[in-house]
Structure formats: C-alpha cells, structure tokens
Amino acid sequence: MRPRLSALAALLAIAACAEPEAPPAPAEPVTQAWVRLPAVDGRPGAAYFTLNGGATGDTLIAVESPMVATIELHESAEQDGRMTMVPIRAVDVPPDSAVRFAPGGRHAMLFGIDPGVTRGARIALDFRFDSGRDLRIEAPVVAAGDPNPYAAAR
C-alpha cells in the first residue's frame, strides 16, 4: 500500500510541476504586422500590427520603411456618418497591454510605396519607440482585397 501511495504522490508532484504557473513568455513588442497594398497603384497602402507593452510599456513614435517614402500613424473615426482619418503623433502602450492597429481603426498609412513591393512579398517596417528601442519587422504584403493573413491562418 505504502509504495503505491508514494508513487501516486510522485505522479501528483509531476502533474503539479507541469501546471503552467509561470506567466506566459512576454510577447514581442510588435506582433502580427502586415501590409495591405492599395487597390490603385500610387495610392497609399496601410500597415496593421499589434503593439505589446510587456513589463515596462513603451510609446511608439514612428514607423518607417526603406521601401516607403512616408509613413503616418492614423486613427479612423466616423464623423457625421463619414469615415475620416486623424493623424496620431505617438501611441502609448501601457505595461501588460496590447494596442491593435486593424482595418477600420488605427493604422499606419504608407505613402509612396516602392513599385517593387508586390503581393506575397515581405516589407521591412522599422518601429521606433520612445525608449530608444528600434525594431525591424518583415511584414507580409497582401493585395487590396485580401484579408488579414494572420486571421486567415487561424
């Protein structure tokens, strides 16, 4: 009887160790970045992504790309029944929070995209933070009518 019990205790101990008690690994500061090309060549495209505050939080101050002339951060809003866009200067990402840039809401607007950037390519996006952190992300590029590539993969 006794050996059995201790075996059970050992099993329980192993089970307890397997329990995910530690918090999940901290997310990268920028995840799920993707770029949607304009329907008409020469018009602006858009970049979407999720900002993760991590333990300390940070503030996004700019997104740049060697393949894009100008990138502005915008917020979409409905005003008098019309969709408008308002520029945002910086985006606060508090600790342990996520800020999503998604179609219909916040987005990075890409003016002057290099014609070599086509559907299926990857484009380098440089995320600059107030803390001094610079982060380059290779974001997948989709065509105008294509859905979020991360949503499609789910």
Q: Which is nearer to Cu ion, 11 or 90 (CB)?
A: 90
Could you tell me the smallest distance in angstroms from the CB atom of residue 78 to Cu ion? 14
CA atoms of 119 and 142, how far apart (whole Å)? 5
| 77 binds Cu ion, rule: CB under 5 A | no
Could you tell me the smallest distance in angstroms from the CB atom of residue 154 to Cu ion? 26
Could you tell me the smallest distance in angstroms from the CB atom of residue 46 to Cu ion? 7
- Contact between residue 138 and residue 127 where contact means Cβ atoms under 8 Å apart: no
Sign (positive/negative) of CA torsion 65, 70, 75, 81? negative
- From residue 52, how far is each of 22, 87, 99, 121 by CA, in Å? 19, 21, 7, 25
Q: How many residues bind Cu ion (CB under 5 A)?
A: 3
Q: Name the residue with the smallest CB distance to Cu ion.
A: 74
- 125: nearest Cα among 57, 38, 30, 43: 30
Determine which residue in the list 69, 85, 90, 151 makes contact with Cu ion, applying CB under 5 A. 85
| 109 binds Cu ion, rule: CB under 5 A | yes
Question: Binding string, 117-146, against Cu ion, x = CB under 5 A?
Answer: ------------------------------
Determine which residue in the list 49, 68, 74, 117 makes contact with Cu ion, applying CB under 5 A. 74
Give residues with Cβ within 8 angstroms of 121, minimum separation 6.
140, 141
Q: What residues make contact with Cu ion under the rule CB under 5 A?
A: 74, 85, 109
